[in-house]
Amino acid sequence: MTHLAKQALRAQRIETASWAYGNSGTRFKVFPQEGVPRDPYEKIADAATVHRFTGVAPTVALHIPWDRVADYAKLSDAAAELGIALGTINTNVFQDNDYKLGSVTNPDPAIRRKAIGHLLECVDILDQTGSRDLKLWFSDGTNYPGQDDVRVRQDRLAQALRETYDRLGAHQRMLLEYKLFEPAFYMTDVPDWGTAYLHCARLGDRAQVVIDTGHHAPGTNIEFIVAVLLQAGKLGGFDFNSRFYADDDLMVGAADPFQLFRIMHEIVLADALNANAGIAFMLDQCHNIEPKIPAVIRSVMNVQEATAKALLVDQPALRAAQDSGDVLEANAVLMDAFHTDVRPMLRELREDMGLDPDPMAAYRRSGYFEKVRAERADGQAAGWGA
């Protein structure tokens, strides 16, 4: 591996999600696990543990109100003491009885006001944590044709986004996430990157689109969306996870490592890997049946492997093959990189960084799980949505 590729991997940053450490499940059942954090402080401790063994996950995203605390500066200090920082603040306008017919697009102005109030409150939290990014996802939509007016709802959405955007500080950003369907089944107000892009373009430079890899129709060419948004300067970040059918929230790179490689190839081509490029690489996953901390470690490693392969693409050879119309050679150049076993190089890199070359084994040996299982034996475990 070249020196430059190693440097890029060393500088890579992947943000983990606080909710990945708590109990989670499906519509049918939440299976509780032992040793799960009971509050945001314990979630941060788990995130710091992932960073300790991977060296590339120094921030953790919060979700409000799941991670509501009295004093965010104190939470931030606690994170710093453990060697990490608080990252993206995720808003939540999807878990209140009032939001049955929508949050910011609800026909009732009082409910819209309440939802906007939450978004503004989350900007206050950004101020306190020192985080840069506010992430918005709206479950808003309709279940039946005729239920509400599409364009009126778009106007309501635009107003809410404008008010929130105008409240942002100069160094803060708004990341707008789209999702094809669920929980709304007929029409979702922000269903795709086009709608998200349109709103962000109207708002200004600090409004950017976030791609959750699980939020598309099956077969969607996600790397094309990545390329187009990068070219337009409108890609703000990713919620990484993998899916077989819908929004499965499985470990990134588990279902389709080739897709993850193709996404990272577009990132590398656009020179968008380093922090200055402003792309937030986040995980948005739920570990329903597998142990959580090692699942997050595995996910971080999967992103690293896809990135390493993308960095190995022989770009001059690829360009030459493309320019000469050599279809098979161009494809072969890409596939050669994808088929390279980058694990030995990543082990080497970790040793250079003073880490154990095998983060999974090092975590298992560390005794961290046994320690927290004992410490957290009483009290209520934090769950998805708590």
Question: Minimum Å distance from CB 195 to Mn ion?
Answer: 16
Rounded Cα distance, 289 and 297, in Å: 15
Dihedral sign of CA atoms 207, 209, 215, 216 in order: positive
218: preceding bond cis by omega (within 30 degrees): no
- Which of Mn ion, ligand LRH, none does residue 15 bind (CB under 5 to 8 Å by kind)? none
CB-nearest residue to ligand LRH: 137
Kindly state whether residue 179 participates in binding ligand LRH, applying the rule CB under 6 A.
yes
DSSP characters over 123-185: HHHHHHHT--EEEEE---EESSTTSS-HHHHHHHHHHHHHHHHHHS-TT-EEEEE--SSSS-S
Question: Minimum Å distance from CB 61 to ligand LRH?
Answer: 9
Residue placing its CB nearer to ligand LRH in the complex, 88 or 307? 88
Q: For the chain, list the strands marked E by DSSP.
A: 16-17, 59-63, 85-90, 133-137, 141-142, 173-177, 187-188, 207-212, 235-240, 280-283
Contact 33, 23 (CB under 8 A): yes
Question: Minimum Å distance from CB 92 to Mn ion?
Answer: 12
Distance of CA 204 to the CA centre of its chain: 22
Q: List, in sequence order, every residue forming a beta bridge with 195; answer none if it has no partner.
A: none
Of 27-35, 245-253, 259-267, 325-333, the segment contacting Mn ion by CB under 5 A is 245-253
Q: Residues in contact with ligand LRH, total (CB under 6 A)? A: 8
Cβ partners under 8 Å of residue 354, min gap 6: none
Question: Minimum Å distance from CB 179 to Mn ion?
Answer: 6
Question: Minimum Å distance from CB 379 to ligand LRH?
Answer: 23
Kindly state whether residue 247 participates in binding ligand LRH, applying the rule CB under 6 A.
yes
CB-nearest residue to Mn ion: 239
Question: Interaction with Mn ion in 277-316: which residues (CB under 5 A)?
Answer: 284
- Which of ligand LRH, Mn ion, none does residue 90 bind (CB under 5 to 8 Å by kind)? ligand LRH
Which one of residues 15, 67, 148, 284 is an interface residue with ligand LRH (CB under 6 A)?
284
Residue 314, SS3 per DSSP: coil
Question: Minimum Å distance from CB 386 to ligand LRH?
Answer: 13
Which helix (H) or strand (E) covers residue 64, if one does? none
Tokens read off for 385: 């949505």
Q: What DSSP state is assigned to residue 39?
A: S
- Which of Mn ion, ligand LRH, none does residue 153 bind (CB under 5 to 8 Å by kind)? none
Kindly state whether residue 356 participates in binding ligand LRH, applying the rule CB under 6 A.
no
Cβ density class 92-128: b for 16+ within 10 Å, e for less: bbeeeeebebbbbbbeeeebbebbbebbbebbebbeb
Which one of residues 42, 212, 223, 356 is an interface residue with ligand LRH (CB under 6 A)?
212
Residue placing its CB nearer to ligand LRH in the complex, 122 or 268? 122
Which one of residues 39, 133, 148, 239 is an interface residue with ligand LRH (CB under 6 A)?
239
Residue 187's nearest CA partner among 125, 246, 138, 239 is 138
Residue 29, SS3 per DSSP: coil
Which one of residues 137, 138, 261, 368 is an interface residue with ligand LRH (CB under 6 A)?
137
Question: Minimum Å distance from CB 333 to Mn ion?
Answer: 33
Kindly state whether residue 133 participates in binding ligand LRH, applying the rule CB under 6 A.
no
Residue placing its CB nearer to Mn ion in the complex, 248 or 336? 248
Name the site residues for Mn ion (rule: CB under 5 A). 212, 239, 247, 284
Name the site residues for ligand LRH (rule: CB under 6 A). 90, 137, 177, 179, 212, 239, 247, 284
